[in-house]
Structure 1
Amino acid sequence: MEYIATFDIGTSSIKGVLIGKDGSLQYPETRPIETDYREDGRVEQDPGQWWEKVCQITVSWWESGISPQHVKAIVMSGQMQDCIPIDADGQPVRPAILYADNRAEEQAEHIAYDIPDLSLTTGNHFDGSMIFPKIKWLQEIERHAYERTETICVSAKDYVIFQLTQETVADPVTGATTGMMDLHRKEWVTKWVEDQGLDSQKLPPLFDPSTKVGEVVEKSAKKSGFVRGTPVLCGSGDAGATTMGAGIIDQGDKYVYLGSTGWVAYVTDRITEQADGIFHLRDLSQEQYIAIAPMLNVGNAHLWAVDLFGEGEEKDYIGFEHAVQSTAPGAADVLFLPYLKGERFPIQDMSASGCFMNMRETTTKAHLSRAVLEGVSMSIRQTIETLIGEDAVDTPLILIGGGTQSESWCQILADMCQNVVRVPEHPEYLPSLGVAAAGFVYLHWSADYQGFHQHFMQHLPMKTYYPSPDVKATYERLYQKFKSLYPIIRDWSEGERFS
């Protein structure tokens, strides 16, 4: 069988899977990656591990009997809003500054003051999570590293593409999250960059996701095992790949990504103005917009609770699931505010903190466990309502990401949002399947993205969760309390989190 090799470079792991010409997922592999979280809010990764883990995955494929000659193209997705400075040899001059890193808030304020029409051109809000202020931070604070930088990669997958091809690239899906791209023209606004005293030549060229940007070079072929000359496509930032992988292609379709961090997204034909903090990206076809509300506290809160309330040294997800299922909806009226590392949506406050409310002597670990999943679900509901409005329940809510392995969480979301919830089979690999659509278009295995969706995405097996009317009143009452909780405690943590 002929394959497209796909990789999804996330925050906590890299997933690789071979996508057959029939749309099947073959030989899925996952490798963990390490992240450096610091008390001052800085978040970094070593880009070298991305390339090393990709090569580990490819070697495992060849050891399983797959012939590299059967791989007809390579395409990948990756975490966005990363500032990855590399030198002329493609080596990182410092660790990558990740999207959740908040060090560049001051630079963002100065840039926004200097360019008052910035958001009108980019179609997005502007803050310190963007790459533009992070580059400015690099120039101001780490001048030596900035001077050594030949190119700023803006997505993790772009760094790996360089290792494969020796070509620097970026895609418009990711470009929309940098604060430097004209969303309508799909090109860098180099004047802004130059006016800030930065070198616009350090920005990589932009290509559509299905564009062939290079071929596997000799030294990379030796390390990865890919055949020299194998086409490498530009690919897409993870949000674009995930949207296609979720089968979200028609206007009004919506989904939630339950990763370590996550987001709520839907497809629209226009730029929305419902609230600050919403991202607008081009979809893979570059014909519509994906409106996205990013959330910093999703699966990480689940993992935190598993570690905190679980038994033994191993992460006991099964025991945690049983604890949640042993309690009734409402968790004895305990409320959990999930802002463990600040938040970007439904609030924009990087100093926000989490809390439990309404605990009593009768409160158990099981109650607290359920409250955590309910609290994150309330945060997701508030985000959906802010992003989409009253029409949010007109279409099923698709869930993807590692969090969907918790059936309790999926049911809680259906009940909390009073919305039918659908979970595709193998949701953790859907970003890989989604970005493979670019490969299908390039290889003419599909006529276009709509054809890929009709032939493959519409036929994916799904598990469906239906909302229970019996818990609607309970969750509505708690949800109204949840929405009032953050404004009450906001001042308690303001200015204290990173002191």
Structure 2
Amino acid sequence: MRMHSLQDALIVGVDFGTSGVKLVVVDQQGRHRSSHREDYPTAHPPSASGDVMTEQDPEHWWDAFRAVIAAAVTRPGLAERVVAIGLTGQMQDVVLLDAAGLPVAPAILYSDVRAHEEFDELAGDLPDWAARSGSLQDASGLMPKLLWLDRHRPHVLEAAADVVFGPAAAIARRLGAPALTDPTTASTTGLLELKSRRWWTGGLRALQSRSRSARLAAGLPDLLPSLVGPGSVACRLRSEDAAELGLAADTPVVLGLGDAGASTDGVSGDSPGRGYASLGGSGWIAAVTGDHDVGRPADTASPIHRLALSGDADLRIVAVQSAGTVAEWARRELLAGATPQEADEAAATRLGVLAPRPLCLPSLTGERYPVRDAAARGAFVGITPETTAVDLYLAVLGGVAYSLACGVDELNLRQPTLPTVGGGASSRVWRQLLADATGMDVLHVRGGEDAAARHAARAAAETVLHRHQIRPLADQSRPAQDAGEDSPTAGAAAATSSEVPTRPSPLVAEHQHRRRMHRELHGALESTFSAWRR
């Protein structure tokens, strides 16, 4: 059933994160109408070689997608007003699908670094890999993982008709779309030539020459998804899918940017300028730039990720492999399973005590910044008899903050305030550590956990509506208290208001000194990590 006027249109935005899927429903004015989240598990199957393996079952993505639709959309007064669905989500996964769009194996996630031997082989064949792709490559990339599958699970490759790089494209494919990828997600594969925005023939040839299976040696180009611009209509709901989801047949399904681009657009828009920080499962500093606006030149090897956006714009990111994930580990193992709120209260009592606090490299499963090292692991340096479990927890949070602060410097960000989103941004202690590490005011943008989903909704709205007011969170300034709890604008206000910035403390100079020592630890421990891996 369709509504009679687009004036009452609702847009659905769906963001498939590392630990779960978040759905938001907004109207044309960008006001929040409904939302829901469903979690799904991550598996770490054992490996004979001892490598860390990280996988998810795409069937869990589908189940979670149906669940959030049922919980937040298919209710009287909402479902019949939905005019489009936008999708975004985690990137750099390897998701192999059959001809019907169903998974043939668990998805290998972006953080999986099992393919280090295959990476070493390919890196020797491709001396210009970083310059072509715009980013340093490592064992987490698409080509090493495909070569690992070629060596260890060739039957899975033979069963695959398509490969996509995250849940958003996998769900779209299941709903009837062809295999697609947006430019930002494609940039994370190491197989996109950033300058031309096309699949890199040199990389394809290198992978094919190393492969043993016919699927890669001869059929690799057919396996890859088509490159499409952000905001492209991937498909329209078929009658059977619409009936299962409780939505109208022919509803457009729009593919947005991958999560890094989606979050950036959702927080601060897609115009070159300011950067922002994210403290989610991983952590990052991101800035939209022109070709050579900030950082090192595009052809210089750097651990900065350089990803494609629309047109000639780039997204430059310094990405710390573990942020929220290592904080969760620390609460579980060091603080007896304390909740984030309990951990924050305990940490606040030791926030000003630096002497017994060690330095921490928070690299549980490899590192992406400030070095690119798949062999890197977590480490504490400087434990004393006075060091407590809370000090260790603060060292973990501080290790993430110090790494992100290096990125602020390398991206040459000069703004006085650093907007910060993600679940970790709700921690007052973590915001203080980030402020002291960067020397900047840190502003917790409330509702930032919805940024990527709002981008997906915005991308869908721009495709199907002539006008809308779904704007980036940083452009929304109305305080939450201006809207009553029962007001139709209350959700929008709560999702877009900000808190008072957290300012650097008197300890900022000491943190700057510790940050420099922290940066040197990566180089000092590189050979140790390499030997540990063997």
- TM more than 0.5: yes
Q: How does 1:263-412 map to 2 (within 5 A)?
A: 263-270=284-291, 272-273=296-297, 275-283=301-309, 285-311=310-336, 315-335=338-358, 336-385=360-409, 387-388=410-411, 391-412=412-433
CA contact (8 A) 1:331 1:370 kept: no
Residues 1:61 and 2:79 aligned together: no
1:122-167 deviation digits (Å, cap 9, x = unpaired): 2222222221232232223322111111000112210011122243
CA contact (8 A) 2:133 2:192 kept: yes
CA contact (8 A) 1:330 1:371 kept: no
Q: How does 1:43-58 map to 2 (within 5 A)?
A: 43-58=54-69
Q: CA deviation at 1:395?
A: 4.6
SS at match of 2:155: helix
Higher deviation after alignment, 468-477 or 153-162: 468-477
CA contact (8 A) 2:20 2:37 kept: yes
SS at match of 1:495: helix
Q: CA deviation at 1:456?
A: 7.7
Separation of aligned partners in 2, 1:144 and 1:368 = 45
Residues 1:141 and 2:152 aligned together: yes
Count how many residue pairs are aligned between Structure 1 and Structure 2: 489
5+ long unaligned stretches in structure 2? 1-7, 209-215, 478-495
Give 1:483's aligned residue.
519
Q: How does 1:184-199 map to 2 (within 5 A)?
A: 184-190=195-201, 192-194=203-205, 196-197=207-208, 198=216, 199=220
Q: TM-score, normalised by structure 1?
A: 0.91
Higher deviation after alignment, 345-354 or 319-328: 345-354
Alpha-carbon RMSD: 2.3
1:454-481 deviation digits (Å, cap 9, x = unpaired): 7983433222424235112221232233
SS at match of 1:212: strand
- Which of 246, 270, 274 is 1:253 aligned to? 274
Q: Percent identity?
A: 28
CA contact (8 A) 2:16 2:167 kept: yes
Higher relative contact order (CA 8 A, sep 6+): 2
Separation of aligned partners in 2, 1:11 and 1:151 = 22
SS at match of 1:416: helix
1:204-238 deviation digits (Å, cap 9, x = unpaired): 11111111121011232232222211001122210
Instruction: Kindly provide the amino acid, as one letter, of the partner of residue 462 in structure 1.
Output: S
Separation of aligned partners in 1, 2:19 and 2:272 = 31
SS at match of 1:422: strand
SS at match of 1:244: helix
Q: How does 1:147-166 map to 2 (within 5 A)?
A: 147-166=158-177
Instruction: Kindly provide the amino acid, as one letter, of the partner of residue 395 in structure 2.
Output: A
Give 2:464's aligned residue.
443
SS at match of 1:347: coil
CA contact (8 A) 1:18 1:27 kept: yes
Give 2:39's aligned residue.
32
Separation of aligned partners in 2, 1:140 and 1:48 = 25
SS at match of 2:286: strand
Residues 1:4 and 2:11 aligned together: yes
Instruction: Kindly provide the amino acid, as one letter, of the partner of residue 485 in structure 1.
Output: L
Distance 1:446 1:140, change over 3 A: farther
Distance 1:195 1:249, change over 3 A: closer
Higher deviation after alignment, 453-462 or 249-258: 453-462
- Which of 122, 138, 159 is 1:111 aligned to? 122
Instruction: Kindly provide the amino acid, as one letter, of the partner of residue 368 in structure 1.
Output: L
Q: TM-score, normalised by structure 2?
A: 0.86
CA contact (8 A) 1:248 1:254 kept: no
Residues 1:216 and 2:273 aligned together: no
SS at match of 1:356: strand
5+ long unaligned stretches in structure 1? none
- Which of 72, 93, 110 is 1:99 aligned to? 110
Separation of aligned partners in 2, 1:350 and 1:127 = 7
Q: CA deviation at 1:357?
A: 2.9
Separation of aligned partners in 1, 2:106 and 2:206 = 26
Separation of aligned partners in 2, 1:216 and 1:290 = 31
Separation of aligned partners in 2, 1:282 and 1:397 = 23
SS at match of 1:293: strand
Q: CA deviation at 1:275?
A: 5.0
SS at match of 1:27: strand
CA contact (8 A) 1:415 1:466 kept: no
Instruction: Kindly provide the amino acid, as one letter, of the partner of residue 117 in structure 2.
Output: E
Q: How does 1:414-425 map to 2 (within 5 A)?
A: 414-425=435-446
Separation of aligned partners in 1, 2:108 and 2:473 = 39
Instruction: Kindly provide the amino acid, as one letter, of the partner of residue 244 in structure 1.
Output: D
Higher deviation after alignment, 325-334 or 397-406: 325-334
Distance 1:189 1:61, change over 3 A: same
Residues 1:41 and 2:41 aligned together: no
Residues 1:226 and 2:247 aligned together: yes
Separation of aligned partners in 2, 1:108 and 1:368 = 34
Instruction: Kindly provide the amino acid, as one letter, of the partner of residue 277 in structure 1.
Output: P
SS at match of 1:15: strand
